[in-house]
């Protein structure tokens, strides 16, 4: 051996003396088994249809409370007719505005009627609902 190895030998022996036995090393305890948790049912599941809120605003007479046939007589054939369960959305559009009517069956049952209308410009900005109804209503 050369001199460099002789200098390193005491350092190696000192390091070896610091180590413990394998008896000092204990295995980690096994992790607990995973708990099976049933997810809660979604809040969106409802057992009853929510009550429809009827919008009442001046200028919407003859629209709110009207069924799809009556609305078609006033505004012509809708450009959009979307059904979702017992709800229905009808849409008419013209140069001044876009009109959406939302129809729901009355609480006692029966044909869906318009309970709410919304109006906007072609670019999405809000517009007065009554003014839109007046602008899109067919002349009699």
CA distance 73 to 65: 14
In a domain, 98, yes or no: yes
* pTM of full prediction above 0.85: no
Pairing of strands 87-93, 113-120: unpaired
Range of the domain at 91: 68-136
Q: Which two tokens stand for residue 28?
A: 């980690």
Number of domains in the chain: 1
Q: Rounded to an integer, what distance in angstroms lies between the CA atom of residue 2 and that of residue 4?
A: 6
Residue 10, in any domain of the structure: no
What band does 2 get if pLDDT is binned at 50, 70 and 90? low
Cα separation, 104 vs 125, whole angstroms: 26
Q: Is there a domain that residue 25 lies in? A: no
Any domain includes 108: yes
Of 24-33, 41-50, 117-126, give the lowest mean pLDDT range.
41-50
Each residue's pLDDT tens digit, 3-21: 555 555 555 555 555 555 5
Question: In degrees to the nearest 10, what's the CA dihedral of 122, 58, 116, 127?
Answer: 20
Is residue 43 a part of any domain in this protein? no
> How confident is the model over 32-84, as pLDDT tens digits?
776 665 665 555 444 444 445 566 677 788 899 999 999 999 999 999 999 99
> Is pLDDT at 1 greater than 90 in this prediction?
no
Q: CATH number of the domain that 123 lies in?
A: 3.30.1450
Q: What is the pLDDT of residues 90-118, one digit of tens each?
A: 999 999 999 999 999 988 788 999 999 99
Asked whether residue 83 is assigned to any structural domain, the reply reads yes
In a domain, 91, yes or no: yes
User: pLDDT category, 138, cuts 50, 70, 90?
Assistant: confident
Position 44 in a domain: no
């Amino acid at each position: 051996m050369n001199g460099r190895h002789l200098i390193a030998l005491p350092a190696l022996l000192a390091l070896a003396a610091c180590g413990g036995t394998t008896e000092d090393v204990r295995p980690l305890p096994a992790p607990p088994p995973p708990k099976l948790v049933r997810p809660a049912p979604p809040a969106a599941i409802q057992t009853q249809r929510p009550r429809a809120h009827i919008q009442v605003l001046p200028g919407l007479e003859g629209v709110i409370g009207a069924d799809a046939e009556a609305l078609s007589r006033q505004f012509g054939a809708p450009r959009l007719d979307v059904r979702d369960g017992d709800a229905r959305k009808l849409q008419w559009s013209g140069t001044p505005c876009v009109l959406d009517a939302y129809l729901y069956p009355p609480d006692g049952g029966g044909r869906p009627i318009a309970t709410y209308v919304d109006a906007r410009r072609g670019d999405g900005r809000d517009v007065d609902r009554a003014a839109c109804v007046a602008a899109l209503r067919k002349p009699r």
